[in-house]
Amino acid sequence: MVAGIGGVMRAARTAGAVLVVAAGTALCVASVSGSAAAAPGANVIEQLVSTADADAGNGWAIDPANPGGGGVERLVEGPGTPPSGRGSLALTTPASTDRAQVYTNPAGATVSSWSSLNGESFSTFTFAAVNPGSSLPLMKFAGWQAGTAQFTTLSFGQPGNGAASSGAWQTWTLGTDSLVFQSNASDAGFCVQASPCTFGAFLARYPTGLWGQMQIGLGSGAAAGAQGFADAVSATHGVTSYAYDFEVPASSNSTAAIRPGSQTSTGGQVTVTLNASSVAAGSVVFTITSTLPDGTIQTTERTVAAGDMATATLDVPFGSTSVSVTAQDVSIATGTVTFTAPTPAGTTAPGRTTTPSSTEQLAESGSTTAPLWIPAGVLLAGVALVLATRRITPRRRNTTSK
């Protein structure tokens, strides 16, 4: 165990050479895929913490050793559909001399051998269309070449391990054949960025080396304004596996609401309100799915700029229609809207046991023609008049016969 490992590592990094991040030349391919499943039991990171907490393994903090001072580290929703949850870590370098980086000591002050690293992985994303690799974050491990002597930082990611993509999530998995490079060039320049080595060769070179800190960083050397994203970070320290899912608080996520609108001659309308998160990494794509009464499924997509609100109007038939809304492949709203067809004029609505009044019949049918039936008062008056006439007629006949 090394006391104060966080402070020791920060001091060592400050004294060491600045790490330059570049795309590199593709030499061999590590495991790359379009997306990655969330690690079971992942620690959800909804805020960046203090260095004291990160040193103790209680979350991720902004690295105080970042050169330039202008790097930006924040948690965002998206971009696109992250491999774990709805959010990710965004790293930005406003100037080429800046570095954006966060770190944690997974096991606190406990260190472990380099050989304990086994299948470490993380996912990256960038919007950069030109040289996208220079905007992708790297996974790094801070430690020493021999015991706790000769501090170095081991870096792994896209450089040399596959082609970088723009606008898509990619997952990078560390294996013995993966290319890596270190920051300490004092060992005859072995495995530096200009001449990377396989992770297997690094392990063979430093069999007694130890590490204790994980980092996710971008720069220095990245283009001014470079921005990259990372998520679904996992590593093994000793015999314990650690997994991290970067998210924004639920209250900051994009939302949607489903409400019935006006009735039409064929059914009705459904209004869907879409609210894009103000901390979204770019526009948010909402997917609206409607399941009609006959089982037909209709899907539409709406793209809303971060922080904006939009509405979508759906025309649905009579009956019950189920509507759901997803963002980042997560369901954020569901509802069922029912529109009942009106009862035709002159018929009795199903289930009724009494005759409706004239106003009920008009409301249900939608007709503007009055019903053809005689009000009860008028009918009674007519009957009384007939009876009176019949009583008067016999008296007139009796008078005539005298």
Query: In CATH terms, are 5-250 and 254-339 the same topology?
Result: no
Q: Name residue 204's amino acid.
A: A
Question: What pLDDT tens digit does each residue of the chain (402 aa) get?
Answer: 344 456 555 555 544 332 222 222 222 222 222 233 344 578 999 999 999 999 999 999 999 988 767 899 999 999 999 999 999 999 999 998 899 999 999 999 999 999 999 899 999 999 999 999 999 999 999 999 999 999 999 999 999 999 999 999 999 999 999 999 999 999 999 999 999 999 999 999 999 999 999 999 998 778 899 999 999 999 999 999 999 999 999 999 999 999 999 999 999 999 999 999 999 999 999 999 999 999 999 999 999 999 999 999 999 999 999 999 999 999 999 999 999 999 887 665 543 333 333 322 323 323 333 333 334 443 334 434 334 444 434 444 443 333
Q: What pLDDT is stored for residue 67 in this prediction? A: 72
Q: Which CATH superfamily is domain 254-339 in?
A: Macroglobulin (MG2) domain (2.60.40.1930)
pLDDT score of 68: 67
In contact, 154 and 218? CB cutoff 8 Å: no
Pairing of strands 309-317, 267-275: antiparallel
Closest CA relative to residue 312, chosen from 281, 286, 331, 338: 286
Residue 120 has which token pair? 């470490």
Cα–Cα distance measured from residue 94 to residue 223, given in angstroms and rounded to the nearest whole number: 8
The C-alpha atoms of residue 100 and residue 179 are separated, in whole angstroms, by 22
Nearest to 323 by CA among 297, 294, 285: 297
**Domain residue ranges of the chain, discontinuous segments joined by +:** 5-250, 254-339
Domain made up of 5-250: CATH architecture: Sandwich (2.60)
Q: Name the pTM for this structure.
A: 0.77
